[in-house]
């Protein structure tokens, strides 16, 4: 299906405005880079604005006509998410693409400012709240899309509704899997609800396989230490540039209808070129997803489409 699809096949993106969370490094940066090369206006929604300024200058050197904007967003803080959405809506009147890319992986037990376990709070609840707040602009923009990144670890994930905050025990790997399964279920359910409401916006999911990114910094946002860089090299069989392809395919391919889940076409979905990953068919459980949706609305205070 992907036919060795690459960024060269992305159509011209002039007139497209895209918000990318976590765009200052890894897959988010490669996604931003591809859109900048194609003429899109790219909003870096990032926690570390100083780091974003450095990579923004790098991109401007590579693509002098690139249209880039940095905006602060801390997905572990609901107040920051509201501030970002308010500032964006005061600045812009449209949004073509929202790419929910940012994430933390297997940090020590921590809670967000709002009392959520860090991985579930940032990876899922933060993006749930952000998407809900940005949805009016998406709905008012023709051919708009939301792409939410999951992971192959979602295949073994489970939503533990009795211990979402980790107060009854915390396993960092299991909680990462839970957050990534939540990302996948959210992408699917959002598309179902958008279609039911008659919206022209579509929602898709993607995962990068095993890509060489800074997720191994354990939530610090800093470069991983020497040992973790070795582990990362051994466990991550492809570059961040290749890992970004499923997201870029989901965001730009006109043949997709919404609800698709894109990942690498290699063995185990670990590496390769984009294709539709059918694992979503066995992972999507309507009852669990509805419960997750209701809990997410309750915890974030963000009401969505019915």
Tell whether 226 is covered by a domain.
no
Q: Which residues of the chain have pLDDT under 70?
A: 1-2, 213-236, 305-306
Residue 92 known to be catalytic: no
Tell whether 217 is covered by a domain.
no
pLDDT value of position 220: 44
Q: What pTM was estimated for this model as a whole? A: 0.92
**What are φ and ψ of residue 280, in 5° steps?**
-60, -30
Compute the distance between CA of residue 261 and CA of residue 92 in angstroms, rounded to an integer. Answer: 29
pLDDT value of position 2: 45
Q: Are 205 and 246 in contact (CB under 8 A)?
A: no
Task: Please state whether 15 falls in left (phi above 0), alpha (psi between -120 and 50) or beta.
Answer: left
Tell whether 220 is covered by a domain.
no
Reference 179, options 197, 196, 162, 156; nearest CA is 156
**Catalytic residue (one of 92, 170, 273, 304):** 170
pLDDT value of position 81: 98
Task: Please state whether 268 falls in left (phi above 0), alpha (psi between -120 and 50) or beta.
Answer: left
**Numbers of helices and strands, H then E, in the chain:** 11, 8
For the chain, the domain total comes to 1
Count of other CB atoms within 10 angstroms of residue 100: 30
**What are φ and ψ of residue 183, in 5° steps?**
-60, -45
What are residue 260's DSSP bridge partners? Answer: none
pLDDT value of position 215: 54
> Using CB atoms within 10 A of its CB, is residue 179 exposed (0-12), middle (13-18) or buried (19+)?
buried
Tell whether 85 is covered by a domain.
yes
Residue corresponding to tokens 């974030």: 300
Tell whether 223 is covered by a domain.
no
Tell whether 237 is covered by a domain.
no
Kindly report, residue by residue over 101-151, the tens digit of the pLDDT: 999 999 999 999 999 999 999 999 999 999 999 999 999 999 999 999 999
Tell whether 235 is covered by a domain.
no
Which CATH number belongs to the domain containing residue 105 in this structure?
3.40.50.720
pLDDT value of position 162: 98
Tokens of 44: 């870096």
Q: Are 102 and 118 in contact (CB under 8 A)?
A: no
Compute the distance between CA of residue 23 and CA of residue 204 in angstroms, rounded to an integer. Answer: 18
Domain that holds residue 118: 8-208+242-300
Tell whether 236 is covered by a domain.
no
């Amino acid at each position: 299906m992907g036919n060795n699809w690459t960024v060269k096949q992305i159509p011209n993106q002039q007139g497209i405005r895209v918000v990318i969370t976590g765009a200052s490094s890894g897959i988010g940066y490669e996604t931003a880079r591809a859109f900048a090369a194609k003429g899109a206006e790219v909003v870096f929604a990032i926690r570390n604005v100083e780091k974003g300024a450095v990579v923004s200058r790098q991109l401007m050197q590579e693509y002098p006509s690139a249209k880039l904007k940095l905006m602060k967003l801390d997905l572990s803080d609901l107040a920051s998410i509201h501030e970002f959405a308010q500032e964006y809506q005061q600045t812009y009147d449209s949004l073509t693409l929202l790419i929910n890319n940012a994430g933390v992986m297997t940090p020590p037990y921590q809670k967000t400012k709002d009392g959520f376990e860090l991985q579930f709070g940032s990876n899922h609840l933060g993006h749930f709240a952000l998407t809900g707040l940005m949805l009016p602009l998406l709905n008012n923009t023709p051919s708009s899309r939301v792409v939410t990144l999951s992971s192959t670890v979602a295949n073994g994930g489970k939503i533990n509704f009795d211990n979402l905050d980790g107060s009854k025990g915390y396993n960092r790997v299991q909680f990462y899997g839970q957050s990534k399964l939540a990302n996948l279920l959210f992408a699917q359910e959002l598309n179902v609800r958008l279609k039911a409401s008659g919206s022209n916006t579509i929602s898709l999911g993607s995962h990068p396989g095993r890509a060489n990114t800074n997720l191994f910094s354990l939530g610090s946002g800093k470069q991983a230490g020497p040992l973790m860089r070795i582990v990362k090299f051994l466990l991550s069989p492809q570059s961040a540039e290749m890992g970004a392809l499923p997201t870029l395919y989901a965001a730009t391919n006109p043949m997709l209808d919404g609800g698709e889940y894109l990942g690498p076409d290699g063995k185990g979905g670990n590496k390769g070129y984009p294709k539709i990953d059918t694992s979503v068919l066995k992972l999507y459980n309507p009852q669990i997803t509805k419960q997750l949706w209701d809990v997410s609305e309750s915890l974030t205070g963000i009401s969505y489409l019915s």
